[in-house]
Chain A
Amino acid sequence: MLQAALLLLGCALSRYLWEVDTTVGTVIVGATTSGVLFYLFIVTAGAVSESCPYQTPGSQALRYLRPKARRILRSTSSVVASAFREAFEKSKAVKTVAMNVQWYYPWWSGGEIKPFLKDMLLEIPRALVIDAYHLGRMMIRPLAALPVGLYRLGSAILAPLVSLGHRAHSKWNGASPVAGQGSDEQMTVLDLRCISWMIQTSSDKAVHLSALKHLATVMPLADFDPVLVADCFDVFVSCIMGGVKNHGVVIIQGLEELAMVSALCFFNTVSHLLVTNPTSSVLVDVRQRYLKVFPPQDGLHYHRAYHTMNAAGCLLIQRWERQSFRWGDYKPSPHEHVIVAHNLVKLARSEYQRTQQVKVPRLILRFALHSLSLNPPPPTSVIADCLSIIAIDLGCDTPNAGRMTPDEKYVYI
């Protein structure tokens, strides 16, 4: 609204000053045009890259709609192209010409040219009509599918607007049936933005630690900025002494706690982003950086914090099948165990659906096996999550992780 109002003001001011004085008007028109161009540039830049610091609602909407629009365009264009290709291959007109050429060969000689042209004139219009009929029939299906695609695109555009309207309405009236949930989500979003801002702007490790500690307590990462993943990774990297050296990772003295919390937050955010937006450009970027800092190497002696980071790395690089991670050596705190288990359930569900309901990745099943074998047993919530992982792999209808308490889930499973 603010941006639209600013544009309208610029337009009105330009028009008004143009009538008063053309020179002044030219300057204002130039400034307004520059502003509009700059705005379009940052919308495009924001839509192309999530890491762009200038994010506008327009760029977010474009990023949201881009895959949907691309899918519809791609499917429509492929259907139309195949319809044309098929029509050409089965074309009656082409066949008629070919047959006549063959029949009257050599058709250019004196005696043949006349009957050849006569036959062509008689047969070609009929063949063209038949071709047009077939092409029309072949085009009806894609054209019929187009409104459905457009409807989906429209609903994708309208859904956020409707929810925005609901929010505005509830704000206006002061209450709504889902007021508690909505305000909680909003608070979480604001919290996450604050955390991201604090990590990016501050260089004080104590500030990082308190911000990340808070992040570790935010379990449902409702709608978070993907850049937070990169932030957590940067904090962890700043805690280690020059990457992997002599088959190990050395944490700078005094930064052990920060390293552990940042690794846990990295695990939390990465697994959430892998579920919600696996094609995010931030993931691609962080994956490259992760491999640069921690190249695949055997025989590393792990610091406890690096264990969590390594687990997150396995998820990030999707090393499901290799002997990439030894859960047997993983000794998390109960809090960390709960967070890891909770995220792995979500990831198991998403991977199970991605593989057309065939299997859950082995790495995650190994986690369930390891956690259930622990003595003393892990917290109830972890047991419930491990059973959920098993249930997902077996194809059972599992409860949504966010809707039930651990005890309810445990009883249900």
Chain B
Amino acid sequence: MVAWKIKTMAETGDPDELRSKCKAVTALLPYAVWRERDGEPAILGTFLGAAWASGMMYFTWHRIDRFAGTLLSEASPRAIVLVSPHIPWYLLTDRKDLVQHWAAATSLVPCTEEVARSVIDTLLQVASRRKLLPYITADLWAWLTKRPSLPPVCAGRYYGTYFHVVKAVRKLEDVEVLKSYLLIAWSEWDAIWNEGFNQMCASLRWDFGGTGMDRHWVDLIQRLDHILGELDRGLEYLQQRNHNLREYDFQLMEYQYRRLREMLLEVDTERVIRRSPSIVTPLLLKSEGSRATFMCALPLLCL
């Protein structure tokens, strides 16, 4: 009956009702986890459905932090992975054991879209806590290459653009992971933190400016084009799916993503200048700004 009620609340799509009852739904979470371990995943599914439907960054009651240890040590790997995004990691900055439990669980679960989404959300939340960041291994970062689609309201993506997170991903020196990280972190739903933005600009210039980066460059520019296309639809359109979006964030996003695109084009132009004109990609020529830069630079190249 309780599960049915929560399911109905999630399906009717009234986020306010769900938000007002988040404490009661959270109180059900430990029970749902035990039942999932006993082979009855329905209640856990109901909880997760409600959490995503609520449109809240942190749906669970913060009181769950006291029981996070019990939950993550006793639950099944699948439950650990699926529940982790809803645990308030910002209150658990000294619990490296929980990160290790979670990391162990991720290696045991078969990868699906839902699992990948949960892992990435948790990964970025954990990475945003400086004290927990050192416990994220390269294997965990490799999950970024799965590139699942994250929901409009996502704590991992929101906090995952901190300066130290971008820096940590760059330090891996794996272009595939870095590109995947950028493709996930860039979104029409969230602005980028200021210092993280500067770090991303630097990354575009230094990490994607070399030779053999054409494929990555195309992926990145396509992502930015998609985001800018969505932003062109207007704030009201985006607010239909994310009520938390504000005018200031929207304007900041427009500025940031346009700037990133310009940066990417500049990088490409510089790359082209260093090479012969014959390898200019047709995609580059489509872009007005780049074409102008290219035409100016052409006489120099001929010389």
Alpha-carbon separation in the docked complex, A374 to B20 (Å): 25
A-B contact pairs, 15 of them (CB 8 A): A365-B27, A368-B27, A369-B26, A369-B30, A369-B63, A369-B64, A370-B67, A372-B28, A373-B67, A377-B34, A387-B2, A387-B28, A396-B2, A397-B1, A412-B1
Which 10 residue pairs are nearest across A and B when measured between Cβ atoms?
A373-B67, A393-B24, A369-B27, A373-B30, A372-B30, A368-B27, A372-B31, A390-B24, A394-B5, A391-B2
Chain A residue with Cβ nearest B67:
A373
Flag if A393 contacts B23 (CB, 8 Å): yes
Residue among A368, A375, A394 with max Cβ neighbours from chain B (10 Å) = A394
Flag if B61 contacts A369 (CB, 8 Å): yes
Flag if A375 contacts B70 (CB, 8 Å): yes
Flag if B23 contacts A375 (CB, 8 Å): no
Q: How many residues of B contact A (CB 8 A)?
A: 24
Q: Main SS of chain A's interface residues?
A: helix
B71 neighbours in A (Cβ, 8 Å):
373
A380 to chain B minimum Cβ distance, whole angstroms, is 12
| B195 sits at the interface (CB 8 A) | no
| A192 sits at the interface (CB 8 A) | no
B291 neighbours in A (Cβ, 8 Å):
none
A161 to chain B minimum Cβ distance, whole angstroms, is 40
B49 to chain A minimum Cβ distance, whole angstroms, is 15
| B21 sits at the interface (CB 8 A) | yes
A372 neighbours in B (Cβ, 8 Å):
27-28, 30-31, 34
Alpha-carbon separation in the docked complex, A189 to B34 (Å): 41
Alpha-carbon separation in the docked complex, A373 to B27 (Å): 9
Mask, B1-45, CB within 8 Å of A = 1, is 110011001000000000011011111101100100000000000
B11 to chain A minimum Cβ distance, whole angstroms, is 14
Q: How many residues of A contact B (CB 8 A)?
A: 27
Alpha-carbon separation in the docked complex, A366 to B63 (Å): 8
A360 neighbours in B (Cβ, 8 Å):
24
A394 neighbours in B (Cβ, 8 Å):
2, 5-6, 9, 21, 24-25
Q: How many A-B residue pairs have CB under 8 A?
A: 66
Alpha-carbon separation in the docked complex, A139 to B64 (Å): 58
Alpha-carbon separation in the docked complex, A359 to B21 (Å): 8
A359 neighbours in B (Cβ, 8 Å):
20
Alpha-carbon separation in the docked complex, A395 to B25 (Å): 12
- Taking a contact as CB atoms closer than 8 A, the residue among B20, B61, B74 that contacts A375 in the complex is B74
Alpha-carbon separation in the docked complex, A412 to B21 (Å): 21
Flag if A390 contacts B1 (CB, 8 Å): no
Chain A residue with Cβ nearest B3:
A413
| B66 sits at the interface (CB 8 A) | yes
Chain B residue with Cβ nearest A389:
B27
Residues of A that sit less than 8 Å from B by CB: 328, 359-360, 362, 365-366, 368-370, 372-375, 377, 383, 386-387, 389-391, 393-397, 412-413
Flag if A391 contacts B27 (CB, 8 Å): no
Flag if A396 contacts B26 (CB, 8 Å): no
Evaluate whether A391 and B1 lie within 8 angstroms (CB atoms) in the complex, with A360-B24, A369-B63, A373-B70 already known.
yes
Residues of B that sit less than 8 Å from A by CB: 1-2, 5-6, 9, 20-21, 23-28, 30-31, 34, 61, 63-64, 66-67, 70-71, 74
Residue among B1, B6, B74 with max Cβ neighbours from chain A (10 Å) = B1
Flag if A390 contacts B66 (CB, 8 Å): no
Alpha-carbon separation in the docked complex, A255 to B28 (Å): 38
Alpha-carbon separation in the docked complex, A360 to B66 (Å): 21
- Taking a contact as CB atoms closer than 8 A, the residue among B2, B64, B74 that contacts A413 in the complex is B2
Alpha-carbon separation in the docked complex, A366 to B74 (Å): 20
A370 neighbours in B (Cβ, 8 Å):
66-67
Flag if A391 contacts B31 (CB, 8 Å): no
Chain A residue with Cβ nearest B68:
A373
A395 to chain B minimum Cβ distance, whole angstroms, is 7
Alpha-carbon separation in the docked complex, A257 to B70 (Å): 31
Flag if B1 contacts A362 (CB, 8 Å): no
Flag if A369 contacts B1 (CB, 8 Å): no
Evaluate whether A396 and B1 lie within 8 angstroms (CB atoms) in the complex, with A362-B23, A365-B24, A372-B27 already known.
yes
Alpha-carbon separation in the docked complex, A412 to B3 (Å): 11
Flag if B5 contacts A369 (CB, 8 Å): no
B12 to chain A minimum Cβ distance, whole angstroms, is 13
B4 to chain A minimum Cβ distance, whole angstroms, is 8
Flag if A386 contacts B21 (CB, 8 Å): no
Alpha-carbon separation in the docked complex, A17 to B24 (Å): 74
Flag if A365 contacts B28 (CB, 8 Å): no
B25 neighbours in A (Cβ, 8 Å):
390, 394
B34 neighbours in A (Cβ, 8 Å):
372, 377
Alpha-carbon separation in the docked complex, A365 to B28 (Å): 10
B73 to chain A minimum Cβ distance, whole angstroms, is 9
A397 neighbours in B (Cβ, 8 Å):
1
Alpha-carbon separation in the docked complex, A359 to B6 (Å): 15
Chain B residue with Cβ nearest A387:
B2
Chain B residue with Cβ nearest A362:
B23
